[in-house]
Amino acid sequence: MKFKDKAVIVTGAGSGNGRSIALRFMEEGAKVVVADLNLNGANETISLAGEGSTAIAVKADVTNKAEVEAMVAAAVEAFGTLDILVNNAGIVAFTEFLELSEEEWDKVHNVNLKAPFLCSQAAAKAMISNETKGRIVNITSVEAHRIVSSSGHCQPHYNSSKGGLNLLTKAVALELAPYGITVNAVAPGVVETPFTAGGLKNPEVREWVLDRIPVGRIASPFDIANAVLFLASQESEYITGSTVFVDGGWTIH
């Protein structure tokens, strides 16, 4: 078990990619804080884990500094340390630029960019305090690097929030390198999740997506999880400030 007894926090782990990431860590022996705003979803994730898995569910609004600090404290209290943070929690909203409200802009940036800042800062302080050569992995998106739209409309608030997260990844990686903490990102393409299920049921949308994926299939959440586990592993200790694209070749198409 590659992550036996490692203490991990995965945010947004009550469904989708976050759920698969948390389950993969548990499969590899990690002790996992399954954090989500939806506590029922977090508990459901834990219920899907294999026998003998160790995990706790924590309800946390990751845009709130006090709740983030409580989440990190819960991990340290339960497991004695914190080795890995996965900033997975994120939201997307499909609103055209000319109709985009200030409130929606702020909400998307708070979850997608402010939250990883808050979580990474709190986690890094815990790692440094415990002299842990930790790992931080951020979930960005191919849409941080190119505009993706099957409708002709863009998502400027989502694009900019994920683009900002890419630069945050690099900046924090540089600052935390002297402590032996690496900071990297995974940029998924289109993934089969409950969130994308509605759109992908439309044959025209599915065909549009598949036409842009050279490997010929849409990702599963476990494709994303496997990349995260690599960046959190000992084998990746010389990689920091990097982004791994898990998109089936979308960005080279």
Element housing 44 (H / E) = helix 39-47
Catalytic residue among 158, 161, 189, 228: 158
* Inside any domain, residue 2: no
> What is the reported pTM?
0.95
Element housing 139 (H / E) = strand 135-139
* Inside any domain, residue 1: no
pLDDT (tens, 9 = 90+) of the chain, 253 residues, equals 899 999 999 999 999 999 999 999 999 999 999 999 999 999 999 999 999 999 999 999 999 999 999 999 999 999 999 999 999 999 988 888 899 999 999 999 999 999 999 999 999 999 999 999 999 999 999 887 877 654 555 688 999 999 999 999 999 999 999 999 999 999 999 998 877 777 788 888 899 889 989 999 999 999 999 999 999 999 999 999 999 999 999 888 7
Alpha helices by DSSP H, listed for 110-220, are 115-129, 156-176, 194-200, 203-210
| In the block, residue with structure tokens 């586990």 | 229
What's the token pair of residue 113?
Answer: 């960019």
* Inside any domain, residue 223: yes
Task: List the one residue out of 193, 202, 203, 65 whose CA is nearest residue 122.
Answer: 65
Its domain, for residue 202, covers 7-252
What's the token pair of residue 185?
Answer: 């990102």
* Inside any domain, residue 15: yes
87-128 pLDDT, tens digit each? 999 998 888 889 999 999 999 999 999 999 999 999 999 999
* Inside any domain, residue 40: yes
Total of domains in the chain? 1
CATH number of the domain residue 177 falls in: 3.40.50.720
Is 158 a known active-site residue? yes
* Inside any domain, residue 77: yes
Contact call for residues 35 and 62 (beta carbons, < 8 A): yes
* Inside any domain, residue 63: yes
pLDDT at 148: 65
* Inside any domain, residue 188: yes
Element housing 34 (H / E) = strand 31-36
Using a pLDDT cut of 70, give the percent of the chain over it: 97
pLDDT at 118: 98
